[in-house]
Structure 1
């Protein structure tokens, strides 16, 4: 999420710097995390992602309980099994464990279903923020707009160059009740419990549901005239 938001600054730099002379550049910055945190659509997306993450995790935990039961049954009956029967049971346990890992990666892994769902739900909000920033940049004749919450390190920012509130106005969020400190919210971290393996207890690697960026807890500086 944060990586996607940081492209706001880069895109606007290329868009406006190309049409501005080096001697007359005017620049500003915005706080995209703060802006996203103020948008109801973003909060709704976070809620939906949390629900999906929780439900998928429950499915995985149910599968792991089945695996644990399968392994414990094998341990209890091992002394009564022939070598071919042991080998068959062990193969079943290993396959079950591999299937769980595969499903877990499919859901919570890089570019898994949770990742794709996050992009699907948040991209419209990101596009809306970008369009508002672009409009403000054109109205204020800004050659460059930086993202304070992006990857670009800003060691010092003069509030006179902060255009976050102008973007909030463009988004229709600059009301007395909305223009307050945003509440933090993120997708729940998904931690997976240990799972057994044939002949010994083995840990299934912990997989996490990606965390969406929390909104800023500081209000942007007072707007300019």
Structure 2
């Protein structure tokens, strides 16, 4: 009798586990495609591209000016127009400018990363909120990104619902 009871409990637990597992609902989205279609993303990318070009142009102007000054110093030194002390002083000024150019390049990369984060973070948050809303409305326990998905049925793709939630 006790063995029968134990078997009944095990069978009941297996039935409950199977029912719970089959009740879970999974979906996936193509977040890259969604982001690529968003007007906000296109505007942010355009803004970043403009800023990058502006900073690169400024950096290139600094480099060109530096190279011109180096050539001028070399020409004066070869012509004997400068004393050794003047050459050292001018070389020190050029080294300082070269360091400033290096710092500008580092700052440029940092500024672009900050601007990228500033512009894209709200967009990512908006998409994540839409995915969460679709998951809650559709009863999904999990929604995966298609990029990490090895297999998925077309019926599990909730990208269209997420786009609708975003007004696209």
Q: TM-score, normalised by structure 2?
A: 0.82
Q: Which has the larger radius of gyration?
A: 2
Moved over 6 A (4+): none
Equivalent residue of 2:60, what SS? Answer: helix
Post-superposition shift, 1:48? 1.0
Moved more, 75-84 or 57-66: 75-84
2:30 maps to 31
Structure 2 unmatched ranges of 5 or more = 1-19
Alignment of 1:60-79 (within 5 A): 60-79=59-78
Structure 1 residue 25, shift from structure 2 partner: 2.1
| Partner Cα distance (1:89, 1:102) in 2 | 20
Higher helix fraction (1 or 2): 2
Tell me how far 1:22 sits from its aligned partner.
4.9
Q: Which runs of 5+ in 1 are unaligned?
A: 1-20, 174-225
Name the counterpart of 1:127: 125
TM-score, normalised by the number of residues in structure 1 = 0.62
Question: Residue in 2 aligned with 1:197?
Answer: none
Q: Which has the higher contact order (CA 8 A, sep 6+)?
A: 2
Q: Secondary structure at the match of 2:27?
A: strand
Distance in 2 separating the partners of 1:116 and 1:144: 31
Find the aligned partners of 1:57 and 1:148 in 2 and give their Cα distance.
Answer: 35
